[in-house]
């Protein structure tokens, strides 16, 4: 239901956006027309006194307004700010006797420096869209105060008629006519706006120096163009303070360089969509490259090549909250710290989460700042989403296989523990009671010889022997106490068929390995169709290799695995091992490889 409502809302939002852009464009076009009229009718009072300067100033405003409209239509950053900066750039010329109405003249007095905070917002935000982080807030607030506070004081105290401009339109904000206060506000405005330009230049340069490589590359065009604009304005303000002339005369000297800097800002805003297009084209090669090299694990190498970091590593967040690597191994907190790298020095790492449609795709561990550009992250996620999804599925499958192996291992361990419990119960319980009964019967027979008692003694002895065999078959005590070699020696002595132990490890091995190895040998040699067997258990330090070669009785089925073999394969797989069984020409060969890593 919410999805349908959102789908119906999108066209309306698009219509509202384009309507707002249309009104903004019409308003900006009107401002250009008004400013062109002012420059042609009153050039001696304008900042651009000569026709080339006027053309350059109007062209700069038109360029950034056009770029802002295009960016706004595309939903990109810098749209409204670009339009606002272009309009504010023109308003500086409106405090002119040639202004058509009083409100136009008044707007020129009040908003003469409004371009400065708008340019500051663009310089600190574009194209990463986070202008209000940290100290940026304070910087923009100070610049806005420097632009508007002196202008407000001047607007309420400046009377054009008293100041010697009877041809000027009326100042609609005039409250008290005070030429001295208006002149002082004008001079204070020059000083604080000079301080604002110097602050902005230092702030832009400082943020570029401390920024990461990705942010520096993304912001370089707008930063350089903005710093040039602030420098040109600061030079004009400085000249005004040193020479003692007004802001108007100082700005005459730098209007050309300021207009060129504004065009550079427009070019920087226009460059950003082209930069994103180049990034998409570059990252789109990832899909093609992976389609030609679909081997597992190739995604990391391709991402390393695309982003330019050969040390990049991947981790996949699963729905159950776990994070696994490309091999499906669960990454614990220490593992995550190792992936991120130690703090400090060149080994420091950063973690970036790529998302698609609000769903986590992959966590990338990389050099700091490599993926700080949000647009680049989105482009990378869109271009590599399918490949990342495939690699994620492989990792999730590997994790499920590992979970299954652990579950099977736990089941086998539980089964072995139950076998040991039953063995101890038979040995310490039923067998001991049978032995006690046998002793009592023998004592009774020694006192009163009786044929029935003698038969009972034989039955009890047989029962005790069967209990001993049953307990040994469940879990031989020698295996737990002395190890695999002793258990195999006991097995060969108790076997009902010729059983030869060729090799056995002298050292103790992990309990699951010893138990599984013994189970393979015992079950194989205990088959009813085995006539004789030769057993070898060889330990190499990393794995235990079990080899059982059996000669089958005549008439035994060949070429088929018994149900025992299927159970053994499950047991061997529970400890991470492999097993092969073959029956041919009256022989049965079984080989199991059991890893011994702890």
So what's the pLDDT on residue 40? 87
Q: Which of 69-78, 360-369, 415-424 has the lowest mean pLDDT?
A: 415-424
3-state secondary structure of 306: helix
So what's the pLDDT on residue 106? 92
For the chain, the residue count is 598
* Contact status, residue 596 vs residue 544, Cβ threshold 8 Å: yes
3-state secondary structure of 593: strand
Average pLDDT over residues 458-470: 61
pLDDT tens-digit map of 258-289:
889 999 999 988 887 777 777 666 666 655 65
Count the Cβ atoms, other than its own, within 10 Å of residue 88: 21
Average pLDDT over residues 25-54: 84
**Which residues lie below 8 Å from residue 593, measured CB to CB, with a gap of 6+?**
543, 544, 545, 546, 577, 578, 579
* Contact status, residue 514 vs residue 534, Cβ threshold 8 Å: no
**Backbone phi, then psi, for 503, in 5-degree steps?**
-145, 145
pLDDT tens-digit map of 145-202:
999 999 999 999 998 888 888 888 999 999 998 989 998 998 898 899 999 999 999 9
- Share the mean pLDDT of the chain: 77
Angle between helices 136-157 and 115-125 (to 10 degrees): 170
pLDDT tens-digit map of 329-387:
777 654 555 555 444 334 467 788 887 777 787 888 887 766 766 666 777 777 677 77
Count the Cβ atoms, other than its own, within 10 Å of residue 339: 17
**Can you spell out the DSSP letters for 12-75?**
HHHHHHHHHHHHHHHHHHHHHHHHHHHHHH-GGGSS--SHHHHHHHHHHHHHHHHHHHHHHHHT
Per CATH, the number for 482-595 is 3.30.565.10
Question: CA nearest 89: which of 47, 126, 121?
Answer: 47
Count the Cβ atoms, other than its own, within 10 Å of residue 157: 21
Token pair in block for residue 237: 């303000």
So what's the pLDDT on residue 562? 41
pLDDT at residue 130 greater than cutoff 60: no
- Averaging pLDDT over each range in 219-223, 307-311, 571-575, which range is the top one? 219-223
Better pLDDT: 509 or 291: 509
Q: In angstroms, rounded to a whole number, what is the distance separating the alpha carbons of residues 131 and 121?
A: 6
The domains of the chain are located at: 2-278, 294-403, 482-595
Distances (CA, A) of 318 to 314, 326, 364: 13, 12, 15
Distances (CA, A) of 290 to 294, 394, 441: 5, 15, 81
**Can you spell out the DSSP letters for 488-545?**
HHHHHHH-SS-EEEEE--SS---HHHHHHHHHHHHHHHT-TTEEEEEEEEEE-SSEEE
Q: In angstroms, rounded to a whole number, what is the distance separating the alpha carbons of residues 280 and 381?
A: 10
pLDDT at residue 24 greater than cutoff 90: no
Q: What is the pTM of this model?
A: 0.56
So what's the pLDDT on residue 407? 67
């Amino acid at each position: 239901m919410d999805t349908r409502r959102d789908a119906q809302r999108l066209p309306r939002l698009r219509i509202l956006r384009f309507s707002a852009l249309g009104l903004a464009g019409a308003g900006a076009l009107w401002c250009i027309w008004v400013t062109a009229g002012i420059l042609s009718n009153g050039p001696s009072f304008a900042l651009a006194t000569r026709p080339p300067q006027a053309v350059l100033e109007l062209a700069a405003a038109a360029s950034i307004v056009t770029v802002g409209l295009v960016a706004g239509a595309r939903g990109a950053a810098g749209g409204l700010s670009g339009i606002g900066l272009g309009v504010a750039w023109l308003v500086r010329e409106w405090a002119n006797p040639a202004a058509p109405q009083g409100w136009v003249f008044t707007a020129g007095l009040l908003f003469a420096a409004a371009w400065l905070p708008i340019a500051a917002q663009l310089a600190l935000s574009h194209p990463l869209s986070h202008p209000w982080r940290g100290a940026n807030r304070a910087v923009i607030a100070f610049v806005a105060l420097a632009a508007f506070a002196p202008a407000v004081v001047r607007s309420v105290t400046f009377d054009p008629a008293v100041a010697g401009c009877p041809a000027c339109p009326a100042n609609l904000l005039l409250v008290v006519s005070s030429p001295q206060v208006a002149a002082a506000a004008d001079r204070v405005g020059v000083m604080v706006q000079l301080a604002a330009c110097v602050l902005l230049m230092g702030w832009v340069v400082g943020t570029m120096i401390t920024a990461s490589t990705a942010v520096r590359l993304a912001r370089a065009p707008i930063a350089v163009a903005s710093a040039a604009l602030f420098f040109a304005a600061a030079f004009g303000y400085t000249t005004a303070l040193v020479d003692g002339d007004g802001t108007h005369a100082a700005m005459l000297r730098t209007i050309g360089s300021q207009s060129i800097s504004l065009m550079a800002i427009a070019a920087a805003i226009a460059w950003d969509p082209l930069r994103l297009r180049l990034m998409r084209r570059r990252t789109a090669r990832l899909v093609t490259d992976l389609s030609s090299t679909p081997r597992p694990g190739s995604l990391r190498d391709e991402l390393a090549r695309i982003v330019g970091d050969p040390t990049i590593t991947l981790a996949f967040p699963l729905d159950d909250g776990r994070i696994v690597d490309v091999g499906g191994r669960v990454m614990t907190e220490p593992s995550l710290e190792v992936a991120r790298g130690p703090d400090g020095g060149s080994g420091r790492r950063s973690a970036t989460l790529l998302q698609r449609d609000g769903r986590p795709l992959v966590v990338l561990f990389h050099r700091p700042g490599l993926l700080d550009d949000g647009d680049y992250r989105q482009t990378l996620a869109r271009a590599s989403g399918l490949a990342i999804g495939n690699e994620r599925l492989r990792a999730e499958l590997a994790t499920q296989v590992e979970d299954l192996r652990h579950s099977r291992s736990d089941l086998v361990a539980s089964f072995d523990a139950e076998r040991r419990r039953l063995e101890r119960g038979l040995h310490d319980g039923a067998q001991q009671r049978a032995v006690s009964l046998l002793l009592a019967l023998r004592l009774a027979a020694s006192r009163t010889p009786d044929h029935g008692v003698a038969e009972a003694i034989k039955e009890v002895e047989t029962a005790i022997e069967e209990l001993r065999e049953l307990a040994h078959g469940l879990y031989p005590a020698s295996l737990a106490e002395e190890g695999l070699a002793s258990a195999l020696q006991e097995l060969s002595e108790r076997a009902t068929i010729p059983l030869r132990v060729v090799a056995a490890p002298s050292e103790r091995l992990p309990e699951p390995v010893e138990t599984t190895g013994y189970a393979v040998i015992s079950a194989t040699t205990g088959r009813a169709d085995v006539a004789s067997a030769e057993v070898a258990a060889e330990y190499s330090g990393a794995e235990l290799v079990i080899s059982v070669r059996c000669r089958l009785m005549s008439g035994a089925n060949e070429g088929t695995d018994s149900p025992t073999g299927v159970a053994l394969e499950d047991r061997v797989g529970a400890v991470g091992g492999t097993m092969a069984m073959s029956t041919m020409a009256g022989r049965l060969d079984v080989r199991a490889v059991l890893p011994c890593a702890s």
